[in-house]
Amino acid sequence: MTNKKTKDLITAILFIVLGLTAIFALIPSGVIVPGSVQISALSPDFWPYTIAWGVVISSCFLLLETFTLKVPEGDEDASEDAEYKLATLQATLRIVILIFALFLFYFALTTVGIVAGSIVLMPAMMLYFGERQWKYIIPLSILIPIGLYQFFLHVAGIPMPLGIFETLL
Amino acid sequence: MIENISFALDLFLSLENFLVIGIGVLIGTIIGAIPGMTTPMGVALVLPFTFSMPPVTGILLLLGVYKGGLYGGSLTAILIKTPGTPAASCTVLDGYPMAQKGQARKALDIALYSSCVADLISNISLIMFAGILATFALRFGPPEFFTLIVFSLTIIAGVAGPSLTKGILSACLGLMLATVGLDLVYGTDRFIFGNFELMSGLNFIPVLIGLFALPEIIDRSTRGPRLGGSQRSQLGGGATLAEFRKTLKSVVRGSFIGVILGAIPGIGGAPAAFLSYSEARRNSKNKENFGKGEPEGVAAAEAGNNGVAGATMIPLLALGVPGDVITAVILGAFMIHGLRPGPILFEDNLPMVYALFMGILLSSFYLLIIGKIAIRGFSKVALIPNRILYPIVFVLCVYGAYAVNNNIFDILVMLCMGLVGYLMLRLDIPVAPFLIAFVLGPLLEDNFRQSLLLSDGSLSIFVRNMICIAFWILTALSIFVLVRSRIEASRTGKASTLTTGG
């Protein structure tokens, strides 16, 4: 089975599970239907059910497509830096680390604020992506978050949350 | 008539008017190019400055911001795969691959020229056909809107990715996400699960940023650092006149698609951009290059997007009905100055309407000049190495997501959408149908339910006249053509020429 076929198969199964979860769990528990609904198509849960069934039916079509139609093969990775692609395990680990760091950044925002959070995150991300020249890392990591803060404050009139550093800027 | 034009010239010919249009286009271009800063936001921010201006000057300033914003969205779409507006997500399809191939300058030039031509055509159409198109648009009730949106979503689902089925799945996901919040009719909870932040639904800006910008950054993790140098050593040369001429047919076609869809209130630039793109590919000699960096794809998307600009003013000026959020703000500006757009405006203030037309025409030329300057500045972004660019883009996204509602929760929405977008990227599911369905979802459901309320629950209302029937036929035809193309692709083993990225 080709890579593209595998992807289509995973997509179909994933969406069937998603659609059925919506039909049997998410919609019954997440959509409140008032007792006064006279036309069933006007009920608050009609549209979500219609979409969820649409997902299930379309996924079945995709499943059928996967087994009956040939997938035209294109370039697997036509992007310009395909040669730099890492091995699966290493790539997965890097993705997990990045996602963990981004969510950690989000949870730190309420305490340290967007500006200080960004000043810490930017050099970490630059180092993570391979930048090693401190003459770029340090000034950019400080100037960009502060510059953006000033832009949004003075031009758009939107003050960014500063957390514990509220009194500094 | 001549007397009215003479009065209009008196109103229009002032240094102030010439300056504000340019300033407006410049502000709009900058705002459109910043992820998280939207054109409606820009128009709303500028609105207070118009209070003390004469009506024509104030409205021309807002129109300048509007037109600049529509174009500005394409700059970041091409350079960093972060569309400034939902409509610019169509420009990403070919614009970003062109930038990756070292043709950033050419893509930006093509986008600019197409935008200017489409804008001019749209403006001329506004002047010539305002009355006729407004009458046609007036015949659109909820069932007609519903069928039109179904048709638009089918086109978007079909052309935005490698397969129609995956496009439909993506659109369904977007429609489902759009149902989060309070129900439109009964006001009851839908998928809120006790989180009050979800009561007003999800804002489309964090969703847009998350879906388009973050997956690219996360995907970069799967690649090791480059051995020195920037990833794109050149921006490439600009587009020549001959190159642009090759795309002219698609630009003109896209402009008229934009004009027609723009004249219908509530539709906006995104369906116009995708429909124009789809038509350009269908008629192109280079079908197989679409989605891989085809200049005609960029031209068609931008023509459809900008063709809407003048046309959205048609229902506003002729009927007093705003076509989108931006024209709703402009309607507010009219009212602040004691004017009420609609047939009475044409009777009582015709010279003012003509003066606005003159300013609108001038804005197309300003767009060309300011766009050229903006390209010089912004195109350098493409030369920044990814290892420096991506952290900057991420921080910009965080600020942009927060700025929409001054709410940290929107940053979480953006991060979650980034994960969804990454998963979709890995599974070759196009994200554009998701986003457009998310934006059009409430409108689709609202029109569906309004139709059923009108007909006491009878579905026959959806085939009540020729407009509805025509849209159903077009939808069925689109599906037929896309399915046939997929079957042919399976037989020949070659990617379908009607879809992207196949």
Give every CB contact of residue B1 below 8 A, 6+ residues apart in sequence. none
Measured over the CA atoms of residue B376, residue B361, residue B149 and residue B251, the dihedral's sign is negative
Q: In this structure, is residue A75 part of a structural domain?
A: no
Q: In this structure, is residue A78 part of a structural domain?
A: no
CA distances from B389 to A77, A123, A131, A136, B141 (A): 22, 12, 10, 11, 47
Q: Nearest residue of A to residue B44 by CA position? A: A156
Is residue B139 exposed (0-12), middle (13-18) or buried (19+ Cβ within 10 Å)? exposed
Q: Say yes or no: A89 and A150 in one domain.
A: yes
Q: Which ranges of B379-431 does DSSP label H, i.e. alpha helix?
A: 386-405, 409-426
φ, ψ for residue B223 (rounded to 5)? -120, 140
Is residue A19 exposed (0-12), middle (13-18) or buried (19+ Cβ within 10 Å)? buried
φ, ψ for residue B267 (rounded to 5)? -85, -45
**Which of B395, B428, B462 to substitute to test the interface with A, most A CBs within 10 Å?**
B395
Picking from A16, A15, A23, A29, the residue whose alpha carbon sits closest to that of residue A46 is A23
Alpha-carbon distance A84 to nearest alpha carbon in chain B (angstroms):
5
Q: Say yes or no: A57 and A92 in one domain.
A: no
Structure tokens that stand for B329 in this block: 């703000």
Band (pLDDT 50/70/90 cuts) for residue A139 is very high
The structure tokens 């069925």 sit at B476
Structure tokens that stand for B136 in this block: 């046609």
The boundaries of the domain holding residue A146 are 85-165
pLDDT (0 to 100) of residue A73: 58
**Inter-chain touch B176–A58, beta carbons under 8 Å:** no
* CB contacts, 8 Å: A141 with chain B: 391
Alpha-carbon gap, residue A18 to B426, rounded angstroms: 17
Q: For chain A, what is the domain count?
A: 2
pLDDT (0 to 100) of residue B227: 46
Picking from B98, B224, B12, the residue whose alpha carbon sits closest to that of residue A93 is B224
* Terminal Cα-to-Cα distance of chain A (whole angstroms): 58
φ, ψ for residue B10 (rounded to 5)? -60, -40
- Among residues A68, A96, A119, which one ends one of the domains? A68
How many Cα atoms within 13 Å fall on the side-chain side of residue B177?
Answer: 25
Q: Does B38 touch chain A (CB under 8 A)?
A: no
Structure tokens that stand for B202 in this block: 């999800």
CA distances from A77 to A73, A163, B290, B494 (A): 11, 42, 17, 17
**Which of B37, B189, B398, B496 to substitute to test the interface with A, most A CBs within 10 Å?**
B398
**Which of B146, B166, B173 to substitute to test the interface with A, most A CBs within 10 Å?**
B166
DSSP state, residue A82:
G
How much is the mean pLDDT over chain A?
A: 85
Q: In this structure, is residue A74 part of a structural domain?
A: no
* CB contacts, 8 Å: B391 with chain A: 121-122, 125-126, 129, 141
Alpha-carbon gap, residue B364 to B371, rounded angstroms: 10
Alpha-carbon distance B130 to nearest alpha carbon in chain A (angstroms):
34
Alpha-carbon distance B176 to nearest alpha carbon in chain A (angstroms):
6
φ, ψ for residue A31 (rounded to 5)? -115, 120
Q: In this structure, is residue A112 part of a structural domain?
A: yes
Question: Which helix (H) or strand (E) covers residue B189, if one does?
Answer: strand B189-190
Q: Say yes or no: A91 and A148 in one domain.
A: yes
pLDDT tens, residue by residue, B384-443: 787 888 898 889 889 888 887 888 999 999 999 999 999 998 888 988 788 878 878 888
pLDDT tens, residue by residue, A18-70: 999 999 999 999 999 988 788 888 899 999 999 999 999 999 999 998 888 87
Structure tokens that stand for B78 in this block: 């091409």
Is residue A168 exposed (0-12), middle (13-18) or buried (19+ Cβ within 10 Å)? exposed
**Inter-chain touch A94–B222, beta carbons under 8 Å:** yes
Q: In this structure, is residue A141 part of a structural domain?
A: yes
Q: Say yes or no: A106 and A158 in one domain.
A: yes
Could you tell me how many residues make up chain A? 169
Cβ–Cβ < 8 Å for B269, B308: yes
Q: Nearest residue of B to residue A118 by CA position? A: B395
Q: Say yes or no: A64 and A89 in one domain.
A: no
Q: In this structure, is residue A13 part of a structural domain?
A: yes
CA distances from A25 to A29, A31, B193, B444 (A): 6, 10, 12, 25
Q: Say yes or no: A93 and A39 in one domain.
A: no
Q: Say yes or no: A61 and A104 in one domain.
A: no
Structure tokens that stand for B148 in this block: 């039109």
pLDDT tens, residue by residue, A73-87: 554 444 444 555 666
User: Out of B163, B390, B408, whose CB is closest to A125?
Assistant: B390
Picking from B207, B33, B206, the residue whose alpha carbon sits closest to that of residue B111 is B33
Q: Say yes or no: A159 and A90 in one domain.
A: yes
User: Out of B45, B165, B492, whose CB is closest to A58?
Assistant: B165
Packing angle, helices B204-220 and A88-129, rounded to 10: 110
The ranges of chain B with pLDDT < 70 are: 1, 35-38, 41, 45, 48, 84, 130-135, 137-138, 159-162, 224-235, 265-268, 319, 321-325, 343, 379-383, 493-502
φ, ψ for residue B320 (rounded to 5)? 80, 15
**Inter-chain touch A129–B411, beta carbons under 8 Å:** no
Picking from B1, B21, B24, B25, the residue whose alpha carbon sits closest to that of residue B12 is B21
Q: Say yes or no: A64 and A116 in one domain.
A: no
- Among residues A68, A95, A113, which one ends one of the domains? A68
Alpha-carbon gap, residue B259 to B347, rounded angstroms: 24
Q: Say yes or no: A55 and A125 in one domain.
A: no
CA distances from A3 to A72, A92, B209, B497 (A): 11, 18, 28, 21
Alpha-carbon gap, residue B445 to B153, rounded angstroms: 13
Neighbours of B9 (CB within 10 A): 13
Is residue B462 exposed (0-12), middle (13-18) or buried (19+ Cβ within 10 Å)? buried
User: Out of A129, A141, A148, whose CB is closest to B390?
Assistant: A129
Residues 211-240 of B with CB under 8 A from A: 217-218, 220-226, 231-232
User: Out of A95, A130, A156, whose CB is closest to B226?
Assistant: A130
Q: In this structure, is residue A113 part of a structural domain?
A: yes
Predicted interface score ipTM higher than 0.85? yes
Q: Say yes or no: A91 and A132 in one domain.
A: yes
Alpha-carbon gap, residue B75 to B421, rounded angstroms: 21
Q: Say yes or no: A91 and A161 in one domain.
A: yes
Per-residue HEC secondary structure of B472-484 comes to HHHHHHHHHHHHH
* CB contacts, 8 Å: A4 with chain B: 428
* Terminal Cα-to-Cα distance of chain B (whole angstroms): 55
DSSP state, residue B238:
-
pLDDT at A143 over 50: yes
The structure tokens 């089918």 sit at B154
Predicted model pTM: 0.77
Q: Nearest residue of A to residue B233 by CA position? A: A80
Specify which residues B223 forms β-bridges with. A85
Radius of gyration in angstroms for the set of CA atoms belonging to chain B, rounded to a whole number: 22
CA distances from B123 to A125, B69, B267, B356, B357 (A): 46, 16, 18, 11, 8
Q: In this structure, is residue A80 part of a structural domain?
A: no
User: Out of B168, B188, B398, whose CB is closest to A114?
Assistant: B398
Q: Which ranges of chain A does DSSP label H, i.e. alpha helix?
A: 3-21, 27-30, 46-68, 88-129, 134-154
Cβ–Cβ < 8 Å for B292, B281: no
